[in-house]
Structure 1
Amino acid sequence: MSAAMLLPGGPAQAAQAPTLRIQRLAWAGIRLQLPQATLFIDPLVNPEAWGKALADPLVPVADSVGDTSVLITHAHPDHYDAQATADALRRGGVLAYPAGIQPFPLPAGARARPSPLWEPQLLGDFTATPVPAADGYGDTQVSWVVSAGGRRIFHGGDTSWHGNWWRIGRQFGPFDIAFLPINGARFGWRKPASGQPGVLTPDQAVAAANILGARMLVPIHYGVTGMQDYQEVTDPIRQLRKAARGHSVAIQVVPPGGWVDPAGQPGDAPSGTTSQE
């Protein structure tokens, strides 16, 4: 047996691992589902987070199965929703977040776990490691690397471009799926406004996915309209497809509430989604 067969995520483990299902939630949220365990990242159910500016349906998270954990990338209210966390952890469970922040309010029953960069967090059937990210305003933020069910997932929160992609790719890549923000938003809330994107643009998301060695990129964190001080790039999905042409990474667009097709390949259009054109 080769050494690769013995490594986490290798063929021997993948053949024996329980099935991991992944659901996209509203905005930047996802649900990772094993037969007896659930892990959420950045779940959002609060309609006041974006109001009418976000058309995404808000997907309930109170129906988790088995031991449940919640990860958040940072404390902004569209990524740390205390109500969503309380719903998900209604029977108790771990709330893991970047060391150096204090999510508030902390839902009753949540076991707080501040998580230093690069330190794996053992969460039952999941292993989650916070890795560097860059917030558009310089606030503390991480991305998460999650291993479970023989697969390795990257979740980028709403990171902007930074220089740690290569290090993350070397340490943890390749990835089965990278969930990356794509809307290249420019903020006007703090003055003077920079006029620069504070979130990955579609081109940058494809570049990050390639450096990470991601087989598939599922876009998140897009779809806000009608706000004067928050401007997305025009038609981010179309720009993402264009940027991905000629690259090996598959683009799978999953609507909120939809489930990722893990077998999607470049050029495929899995049921209920779209892919490269």
Structure 2
Amino acid sequence: MSGHQPDGARMGRRVFLSSLAAGATAALLPVSQATARPSSDVLRIQRLAWAGIRLQLPGSTLFIDPLTNAGEWGSALPDVLVPVGGGEGDTTVLLTHVHSDHFDAGAVAQSLRNGGSLIHPAGTHPLPVPAGARARPAPLWEPQLLGDFTATAVPASDGYGDTQVSWVVSAAGRRIFHGGDTMWHGHWWKIARQFGPFDAAFLPINGARFGWRKPVSGEPGVLTPGQAIAAATILGARFVVPIHYGISGVDEYREVDDPLGALARVARGTSIEVQPVQPGAWVTWR
């Protein structure tokens, strides 16, 4: 297939694929139109350490960026490292990118110890793949049907320019957005038009500035608290669960002062609710 299709052709293909996925699951309908599910099918979401989350349905489990490696950040990260275990039913791990604080091979192996799939951004090659698991790349904008979940990779921007995606996940009448550790970019409006509004957005907030690559820019390579609220507003998110914050005492890595407090202050006077969730705890649906 040519890499120079007209924009209309590309968008037509995306719309067609989206319509197929919508026919397969009511979760891709706008949230207000999604078919109500029995209470036994309520989507549960657990926050893991750093940027990781676990989405749970009775017959399917979905992990995004699970992290259990105590050596990754050491004492610089105060988060409890939540064990992931094997997923229940159909199990999938989604990666936003392959930096070691988002692709923890040990956590992936634990998550998929009963088998399942590792889905990663097209153009990346996470290794090793756990024995008994399947790995496949996810092109942008193409829905992936994963057990009872539908997941779509959407554009993100990495602070180092490495390949990265965010994830839109729909299940049981809910739609969530997971931003990995993206920085600010210009794709928010397109994502919102295609998939919004969202029940919840899991967004990085620490506005980290890196000194490991020279010359140093001094600019944030991760969403700041203000940028996270701006992104959530564009996405039409009902509430934000902050992720990817809390690092201290690491040379050449500086996050904004009091990122959680700053997020709450910026959110005041907006329609965005902030729901901090401690690692190991579960999201509360309003």
* Length-normalised TM-score, structure 1: 0.91
Correspondence for 1:130 among 153, 172, 188: 153
AA of the residue aligned to 1:82: A
Residue 172 of structure 1 pairs with residue 195 of structure 2: yes
Structure 2 Cα separation of the partners of residues 112 and 214 of structure 1: 30
Q: Structure 2: any 5+ residue segments left out of the alignment?
A: 1-25
Count of residues paired in the alignment:
260
CA 1:97 to 1:218, structure 2 compared with 1: closer, same or farther past 3 Å? same
For residues 27-79 of structure 1, the C-alpha deviation after alignment (integer angstroms, 9 at most, x for no partner) is: 00000000111100000001111111111110001142211100000000000
Structure 1 Cα separation of the partners of residues 266 and 234 of structure 2: 14
| Greater percentage in helix | 2
Equivalence for 2:17: none
Structure 2 Cα separation of the partners of residues 113 and 156 of structure 1: 20
1:132-151 mapped onto 2 (5 Å cutoff): 132-151=155-174
Residue 7 of structure 1 pairs with residue 29 of structure 2: yes
Contact 1:14 1:151 survives alignment (8 Å): no
For residues 82-124 of structure 1, the C-alpha deviation after alignment (integer angstroms, 9 at most, x for no partner) is: 0000000001101001000000222212200100000101101
Structure 1 Cα separation of the partners of residues 235 and 30 of structure 2: 17
The CA deviation at 1:228 is 1.6
Give the 3-state SS of the residue equivalent to 2:36 in structure 1. Answer: helix
Contact 2:207 2:222 survives alignment (8 Å): yes
The CA deviation at 1:7 is 3.4
Structure 1 Cα separation of the partners of residues 182 and 139 of structure 2: 17
| RMSD across aligned positions (CA) | 1.6
Structure 1 Cα separation of the partners of residues 161 and 51 of structure 2: 19
Equivalence for 2:10: none
The CA deviation at 1:8 is 5.6
Correspondence for 1:154 among 149, 173, 177: 177
Correspondence for 2:231 among 180, 199, 208: 208
Correspondence for 1:38 among 28, 49, 61: 61
Structure 2 Cα separation of the partners of residues 74 and 67 of structure 1: 22
Structure 2 Cα separation of the partners of residues 167 and 97 of structure 1: 21
The CA deviation at 1:249 is 1.0
CA 1:63 to 1:105, structure 2 compared with 1: closer, same or farther past 3 Å? closer
Equivalence for 2:98: 75
AA of the residue aligned to 1:42: D
1:219-234 mapped onto 2 (5 Å cutoff): 219-234=242-257
For residues 164-219 of structure 1, the C-alpha deviation after alignment (integer angstroms, 9 at most, x for no partner) is: 00000000000000000000000011111111000000000000000000001000
The CA deviation at 1:239 is 0.3
CA 1:6 to 1:46, structure 2 compared with 1: closer, same or farther past 3 Å? closer
Contact 2:31 2:198 survives alignment (8 Å): no
Structure 1 Cα separation of the partners of residues 248 and 112 of structure 2: 31
**Percent of residue pairs bearing the same amino acid type:** 70
Equivalence for 1:105: 128
Q: Structure 1: any 5+ residue segments left out of the alignment?
A: 264-277
